[in-house]
Amino acid sequence: MSAAAAFAAEPATPAAPRLVYVKAARLLDPKSGTVLPDQVITIEGDHVKAVSALAATTLPADAHVIDLGNATVLPGLIDCHTHVTSQPENFYEDLFRKSPIDEATTSHLYARRTLLAGFTTIRNVGAGNYVDFALRRAIEKGEVAGPRMQASGPALSATGGHGDLNGMSPYVRFEGDINGVADGVDAVRKKVRENIKYGADVIKMLATAGVLSEEESVGAPQYQLDEMKAIVEEAALWGRKVAAHAHGAEGIKMAIKAGVASVEHSSFIDDEGIKLALEHGTYLVFDIYNDDYILAEYSRLGYPDKIIEKERKVGRTQRENFARAVKAGCKMAYGTDSGVYPHGWNGKQFFHMVKWGMTPMQAIQAATVNAADLLGWQTKVGQIAPGFYADLIAVKGDPLADVTVLEKVDFVMKGGEVYRDRLAGQPVKQFE
């Protein structure tokens, strides 16, 4: 057979992907802040093709229909602050008896739990040794189940800062450890470039001290303003945004002035900080659930008293400041610091956000449209609309009446594939 004949034998165009129709009696649209009754979501491949009223839609006789009954359907949720590669088991054992290989071996389990909890997208802000890049690669290739991911690699930290290993003998070293410690304008620029070289979608900077480390303060600034500015400028040159971990009022203001896209934790933000965030359009990502878990469990996990004492200083004040920021109208995105508590519990923060001043719809918007905007993925995720990824979830009950129904997600679709279904009896995606 001639080459021409061989090509002629190939089908001219591949068959169009089969359409899938999802029937939703209640479709929550975070963009408009409304719930639409009796809708049909038409899905083609991994994207939404159309959303239409059931009464106005003609389904083909052989249509593949997924009927989600009376469940509430909403866009897949987004957690903007995760550490999906790890989970604490024991402070000293995690440090001294495990290696990055342990982390790499188990991280896919955490990614899967996160996805099955209805979080179809995450922004992972801080992982050592580029384990997050490897995990993201495996998810993108469809080898393991997990959410879409933006990953930062190691968080930039000053020497002796929140991202360094402190409180040890100066002779303790971890051979080959790839971390984010860098000091001075030139070195932080280089560290940003290095992270991007190996796969960073976003840059994480530790602007202040933190809770889960052994340095002294909770919130003191740990970079100079010129270092923070260099990090933001360098990241921007490569088309990346910066997420700044910041607890203390001063460090929060410095990070906002340096031009970060989001301030994480924001625990001790003051009036001036709130005003600056409003002026600069900076997102605030308050992780206001994990305090409960840390105070209940971290003594048992062998964490030094010093660290638990620091958490006591943060907990309630952070929640009060969350309420102030909501009242002031700051831009807020949902982020939980998962990995500080068990993965898959990401939905537990909704309750606290509503308790501390948001309406359920605002909390859902923080975890969908706002989060997508922060990630720069506002045309891809966070809505069920034509052209968006077919990432959707369903829950029994009404999340606008009781937001805790989002802690138990019964249906999860990501990119048109069903990963969990307790409602419509669909086969779920298998990994073999």
Residues of this chain that interact with Zn ion (CB under 5 A) are 337
- Give which of 78, 19, 79 is closest to 48, Cα–Cα: 19
If the CB atoms of residues 52 and 91 are measured against Zn ion, the closer one turns out to be 91
Place of tokens 């000053």: 158
* Position of minimal CB gap to Zn ion: 337
- Which tokens go with 28? 């929550």
- Cβ 286 to Zn ion shortest distance, Å: 12
Place of tokens 């409960």: 292
Burial class of residue 150 in the structure, from the number of CB atoms within 10 Å of its CB (0-12 exposed, 13-18 middle, 19+ buried)? buried
If the CB atoms of residues 29 and 337 are measured against Zn ion, the closer one turns out to be 337
- Which tokens go with 123? 């922004």
Distance, CA of 228 to CA of 307 (rounded, Å):
26
What residues have CB less than 8 Å from 415, skipping those under 6 apart?
Answer: 46, 389, 390, 391
- Cβ 421 to Zn ion shortest distance, Å: 32
- Cβ 396 to Zn ion shortest distance, Å: 31
If the CB atoms of residues 215 and 337 are measured against Zn ion, the closer one turns out to be 337
If the CB atoms of residues 213 and 365 are measured against Zn ion, the closer one turns out to be 213
If the CB atoms of residues 42 and 349 are measured against Zn ion, the closer one turns out to be 349
Distance, CA of 249 to CA of 251 (rounded, Å):
6
SS3 readout for 353-421:
HHHCCCCHHHHHHHCCHHHHHHHCCCCCCCCCCCCCECCEEEECCCCCCCHHHHHCCCEEEECCEEEEE
If the CB atoms of residues 183 and 337 are measured against Zn ion, the closer one turns out to be 337
